[in-house]
Amino acid sequence: MKKQTIAIDTPFQKSDAYGALSMPVYHTLAYEFADADVMSDAFCGRIEEPDYSRVMNPTVNYLELKIKALTGADRVTAMSSGMAAISGTLISLAEQGKNVVASRHMFGNTYSLLTKTLPRFGVTTHLCDLTNLDEVRRAVDADTCCIFLEIITNPQLEVADLTALAEIAHAHNIPLVADTTAIPFTEFCAHELGVDIEVVSTTKYLSGGATSLGGMVIDYGGFPEFARRLHDEMLFNLGAYMTPHVAYMQNLGLENLRARYDLQVRNTVYLVNALRQMEGIKSVNYVGLPDNPYYELAQRQFGKTAGCMFTIDLESKEACFRFINNLKLVHRATNLFDNRTLAIHPASTIFGPFSDEQRAAMDVLDTTIRISVGLEDMDDIIEDFRQALL
Ligand code: PLP
């Protein structure tokens, strides 16, 4: 079946007693077993039956199964947020004395996890330029447990060569872990590019207009010890599994993702092209523009689309604040791929807690505004930009 049909018509694990068309919300915690043998089999993982909803729930499991069918992954684990997916993955891969090789360009909380939280447990991070393969080769050593990156970094919009990074990782027998939040996993096959583990904030595209927080770990099965630790330890011990109501909403989001994404991408291209002609904007940065330095690589890796996130640069921080304060329709809010168009000044918000030096090292500029494009009519959004720049 084609992906869009899989997204709609993946069969339930068991037929529903009432013939429900949508997977119902199993707002249940415990499950009864026919006998002690079946109970033991379920608890010891010999059969895949729900035993307790912290680690397995039919509604959540249905969403996992759909994503498994869509991606061809070995195992998909739904978590309570993107950060839960990222932290669960890194904790599964790392241990005291190990290090992670990662880009200097990362979402603020991921950066904080790698540079503040994990070091307290003896796990360090070698930050480097992942677009410079020699630097990556020098950064990887015998204690490196993975190479980690975002496919389009937020908000610097950098794209690294996944196949080349996978080659380096695999030469050291370690996985390439990619945060693929910026482009839906239905649009391209990360595994074909060498990615071993995908982590996704499903809060973004999948939730269907900011309905809920969620995360996904999509494991292509190349590292069995990782799969065992994520499932047998992190799921049980961290207690950050997705809840059934969230899975219900995100399943609906997955069903109409194709239609929303197509329109959002069209809106993004239209808006970006209009803004390039507008006075008062120093630069418009979008990986989907043919003159963007990452355009060809992004097209090769992600196919025809480049997502719905872009940035603009204005003259100064003051000009950015004035613009944001003047907006009447575009919302002053953090989130990506909402139904609404959103604007945020990353340096003073997501990256506000970092020092000037750290922001400079991460290339987070005072002059940058990040835009996430929504589903509105872009002519209204363009008018809002125009009046806000005056
Ligand atoms: N990864 C990226 C690239 C993000 O932009 C975000 C949040 O904005 C996250 C991860 C964290 O996701 P969540 O808010 O679902 O924890």
Calpha distance 139→334 (Å, rounded): 33
Which sign, positive or negative, has the C-alpha torsion 89, 90, 91, 94? positive
Is the C-beta atom of 139 inside 6 A of ligand 1? no
Residue 148: phi, psi to the nearest 5?
A: -120, 135
Q: Which atom of ligand 1 sits closest to the CA of residue 84?
A: 16
Residue located nearest, by CA, to atom 14 of ligand 1: 82
Q: Are 294 and 302 in contact (CB under 8 A)?
A: no
90, 107, 198: which to mutate for ligand 1, most atoms within 8 A of CB? Answer: 107
Three-state DSSP class for residue 216: strand
Is the C-beta atom of 83 inside 6 A of ligand 1? yes
Is the C-beta atom of 107 inside 6 A of ligand 1? yes
Ligand 1 centroid to residue 284 C-alpha, Å: 23
105, 181, 310, 349: which to mutate for ligand 1, most atoms within 8 A of CB? Answer: 181
| Residue 256 CB coordination number (10 Å) | 14
Q: Which parts of the chain register pLDDT below 70?
A: none
Domains and CATH numbers, the chain: 3-255 (3.40.640.10), 260-388 (3.90.1150.10)
Closest of 363, 360, 322, 362 to residue 343, by C-alpha: 322
Q: Are 25 and 31 in contact (CB under 8 A)?
A: no
**pLDDT tens track for 205-230:** 999 888 999 999 999 999 999 999 99
Closest of 103, 111, 176, 97 to residue 142, by C-alpha: 97
Q: Are 286 and 157 in contact (CB under 8 A)?
A: yes
Ligand 1 centroid to residue 165 C-alpha, Å: 22
Calpha distance 264→341 (Å, rounded): 10
Tell me, what DSSP letter sits at residue 347?
A: G
Helix, strand, coil shares of the chain, percent, nearest 5, are: 40, 15, 45
Structure tokens at 17: 């007693």
Residues 6 or more apart whose Cβ sits within 8 Å of residue 378 = 267, 270, 271, 274
Is the C-beta atom of 202 inside 6 A of ligand 1? no
Structure tokens at 193: 């590019």
Is the C-beta atom of 338 inside 6 A of ligand 1? no
Q: Are 373 and 343 in contact (CB under 8 A)?
A: no
Q: Which pLDDT value is given to residue 45?
A: 87
Residue 320: phi, psi to the nearest 5?
A: -65, -45
Ligand 1 centroid to residue 81 C-alpha, Å: 8
Is the C-beta atom of 154 inside 6 A of ligand 1? yes
79, 83, 205, 250: which to mutate for ligand 1, most atoms within 8 A of CB? Answer: 83
Is the C-beta atom of 152 inside 6 A of ligand 1? no
Q: Which pLDDT value is given to residue 286?
A: 98
